[in-house]
Amino acid sequence: MDISDLKIGTEGSFVGDINKGVQSIKRIEELGYDSIWFADHLMGFTPESIWTPSIIDAANIQPSPHIFHSVISTMTLTAWNTHKLLFGTSVTEPFRRHPAVLAQDFLTLHNLSKGRVILGIGAGEGENNIPYGIEMNRPVQRLKEAIEIIKLLWKNGDKISYEGKIWTLKDAILALKPFEKGKYPPIWIAAHGPKMLELTASLGDGWIPLYFTPKKYKEKLNTIIKIAKKKGRDPEEITPALFCYLVIDENHDTCDQLINKPVIKNQLFLLPDSIFKKYGTSHPLGENFYGLVHYIPPKYSREEILMALNKIPKNMMEEYIIHGTPDEIIAKIENYARAGLKHVIFYNTTYLADTSKIKSSFTCLKKVLAYYKD
């Protein structure tokens, strides 16, 4: 793949002042990014028990790790204030929103943006559901049915009926039409395990995982390609993407120091116990723990989190947290591109660990962007 073909996206969730958020998305478009992505969160993944200036530098400038505006509202602002940027959720799910509501919301955004929205969707995260009394039963089946229902509502225009194990629809109608006849928002699926990879191969227009080494990324992508071919699909119809937490600086030693900060190490709690096992240990928060489902940050005291963070293997942090100088980041992304990556999404977390790096880290990221766009 020619390097200029690689699409570059960035995380853009509004966590503070709305006007500053709008200015930020305009600036991201001006810089030449291809896409911008928004978390659909009620709370964040960092426990408030450690969100204090003595532990996390970002606590000096942001009062809480759990500040998130409505994703549909912020994407509406994005549709209205940009002209070229693709934008999507990273990611939503069908527990808090019925598939008919997702179908209507994203087709509306599709029209507002003249065809630029992407429905990024997954099986759901425990932190956004369990504390709010929402049971996360049969997540993969629920997601499968949700996508089937969304596609039926988009492409039919007349009343539809659907009989599933989760949902039953009878004479349901969504008469809203797409911006361009026959074209609907692409659906990118956050898939990691076997069932979700199969779902991506069957129903997805894109694949948007979190946390894979290049070797594992290639293995998982090959699985999707193989299943898609068996189902009679052209694998080229599925865009391979990757959501990357990133630590970047002109000095490599600085990056090594920053990835050992609690706010950065905390990201690895999202990984399943099976990955920790490969490094000779168990998940610090429990046997068979899978962070995306089981990690509910407010449950843990400061002492519990700090003790658990100390149990994360150093070589695991070095391999799973993408970090380095601009040239090193480019080299790492090239490894993913050789594995089949076509759309990378950067989430610059450098400044969370050191707020003095806000400007310099984004300047470094501009160099990475320039490599692909100039």
Q: What is the pLDDT of residues 148-177, one digit of tens each?
A: 999 999 998 789 999 999 999 999 999 999
Residue 279 maps to a domain: no
113-127 pLDDT tens trace: 999 999 999 999 999
**pLDDT tier at 231, thresholds 50, 70, 90:** very high
Residue 2 above 90 pLDDT? no
Angstrom distance (rounded) from CA 147 to CA 85: 24
The H or E element spanning position 74 is helix 71-81
Q: What is the pLDDT, as a whole number, of residue 308?
A: 98
Q: What is the pLDDT, as a whole number, of residue 16?
A: 83
Residue 148 maps to a domain: yes
Show Cβ contacts of residue 297 under 8 Å, excluding neighbours closer than 6 positions. Answer: 43, 44, 45, 46, 47, 48, 49, 65, 127
Residue 264 maps to a domain: no
Reduced to 3 states (helix: H, G, I; strand: E, B; else coil), residue 270 is helix
The mean pLDDT value for 128-141 works out to 97
169-204 pLDDT tens trace: 999 999 999 999 999 999 999 999 999 999 999 999
| Helix, strand, coil percent content, the chain, rounded in steps of 5 | 50, 15, 35
Token pair listed for 256: 């090594």
DSSP string, 137-191: -SHHHHHHHHHHHHHHHHHH-S-EEEE-SS-EEEEE---PPPSSTT----EEE--
Q: What is the pLDDT, as a whole number, of residue 211?
A: 84
Residue 312 above 70 pLDDT? yes
Full domain range(s) for residue 77:
3-250+323-373
Residue 365 maps to a domain: yes
21-70 pLDDT tens trace: 999 999 999 999 999 999 999 999 999 999 999 999 999 999 999 999 99
Sign of the torsion formed by the C-alpha atoms of 300, 301, 307 and 309? positive
Show Cβ contacts of residue 226 under 8 Å, excluding neighbours closer than 6 positions. Answer: 201
The mean pLDDT value for 126-141 works out to 97
In terms of DSSP bridges, do strands 117-121 and 86-89 run parallel, antiparallel, or are they unpaired? parallel
Angstrom distance (rounded) from CA 357 to CA 341: 28
**pLDDT tier at 315, thresholds 50, 70, 90:** very high
The mean pLDDT value for 305-326 works out to 96
Residue 242 above 70 pLDDT? yes
Query: Is-contact 216 233, C-beta < 8 A?
Result: no
What CATH number is associated with residue 153?
3.20.20.30
Percent of the chain scoring above 90 in pLDDT: 96
pLDDT, the chain, mean? 96
Angstrom distance (rounded) from CA 107 to CA 278: 42
Q: What is the pLDDT, as a whole number, of residue 15?
A: 84
Q: What is the pLDDT, as a whole number, of residue 230?
A: 97
Q: Which residue, 6, 56, 2, is CA-closest to 33?
A: 6
Please tell me the total count of domains within the chain: 1
Residue 256 maps to a domain: no
Angstrom distance (rounded) from CA 310 to CA 269: 12
**pLDDT tier at 4, thresholds 50, 70, 90:** low
Residue 142 above 90 pLDDT? yes
Query: Is-contact 124 138, C-beta < 8 A?
Result: no
Residue 68 maps to a domain: yes
Residue 258 maps to a domain: no
Percent of the chain scoring above 70 in pLDDT: 99
Q: What is the pLDDT, as a whole number, of residue 374?
A: 83
Residue 318 maps to a domain: no
Long-range CB contacts (within 8 A, 24+) of 285-291: none
Residue 1 above 70 pLDDT? no
The H or E element spanning position 20 is helix 18-31
Torsion of CA 84, 90, 91, 92, to 10 degrees: -50
Reduced to 3 states (helix: H, G, I; strand: E, B; else coil), residue 193 is coil
